[in-house]
Amino acid sequence: MAATGKPVTRIARHTRDSIYVRDRNLVEDLIGKVSFTDMIYLHLIGQPPTRAQSVLLDAVLVTLMEHGLTPSAIATRMIAMSSPEALQAAVAAGLLGVGSQFIGTMENTALLLADLIAAPGGVQARARAVVAEHRRDHKPVPGFGHPLHRPDDPRSPKLIALARDQGVPGRHIAALEALAAAVDDGYGRHITINATGAVAAVLGEIAIPTEIMRGIAVISRAAGLVGHIREEREHPAARFIWELTEREVAYAGPSARPGPNDKEGD
């Protein structure tokens, strides 16, 4: 539904001597009194988190902050080498990699879980149908599988157990576990719930809207990328990665083909 009239904001305002965020005085009510995690929740949702919401959002932020020399970190290191004066550009380059293949995949899982929860025929039946649809279309089920962590991604059971310890309602976790059972049955083997699959369920349990879940990954990974920039300055790796690519990715255009007068080994 299109907005009518003049636009408004409910996030922040200021007077000559005060700043307010979500109607809380920044100086008197927030600085030194709330954590960064709690401030994120307040800013996004418009109300302070409960203890469980704070603990679980913090756990997700910690989980997603770092995962080694993945595409986002490599992009950040390359731009940090190319533009060492612009730290923000290097971070931005890495954040562009928070997408549907790496880091930001929780949104697709969250959509599936919402579909399962709302299914009139029940969660289990819908889970089996979802797996059958993905197998038919030769598409991986979002939230499942990992190229390195087998048989299980160690982060997923930790997040799920922590959520249960915090007493969340459990509907999203139950849907994820029903989907996991259907995945294993449908593929005839165990396929792990990956970290972003667990993150989708946990964020659903603490009322983070699906459409901004990827933003949680952006916030978390930004901090991790700053760490990569610092290490790149102290222990450079970007030039090695560049030279490795030049050496290992061979040119295969027409001029690479030997001519009729070329001899083997020339």
Q: 190-224, pLDDT tens digit by residue? A: 999 999 999 999 999 999 999 999 999 999 999 99
**Residue with token string 């499942």:** 144
- The pLDDT value recorded for residue 147 is 76
Quick check: 266 pLDDT over 50? Answer: no
Quick check: 258 pLDDT over 80? Answer: no
Quick check: 177 pLDDT over 50? Answer: yes
Dihedral of the alpha carbons of 76, 81, 84, 88, in degrees to the nearest 10:
-10
Of the ranges 22-36, 102-116, 134-148, the best mean pLDDT one: 22-36
C-alpha closest to that of 53 among 177, 205, 195? 205
C-alpha closest to that of 223 among 11, 67, 100, 42? 67
How many C-beta atoms lie closer than 10 Å to residue 127's C-beta? 27
What are the residues whose beta carbons fall under 8 Å from the beta carbon of 79, sequence distance 6 or more? Answer: 86, 89, 90, 93, 94
Domain with CATH 1.10.230.10 in the chain: 106-208
Q: How deeply is 124 buried, as exposed, middle or buried, from its count of CB atoms within 10 A (0-12, 13-18, 19+)?
A: middle
Reply yes or no on domain 106-208 having CATH 3.30.200.20: no
- The pLDDT value recorded for residue 260 is 61
- The pLDDT value recorded for residue 262 is 58
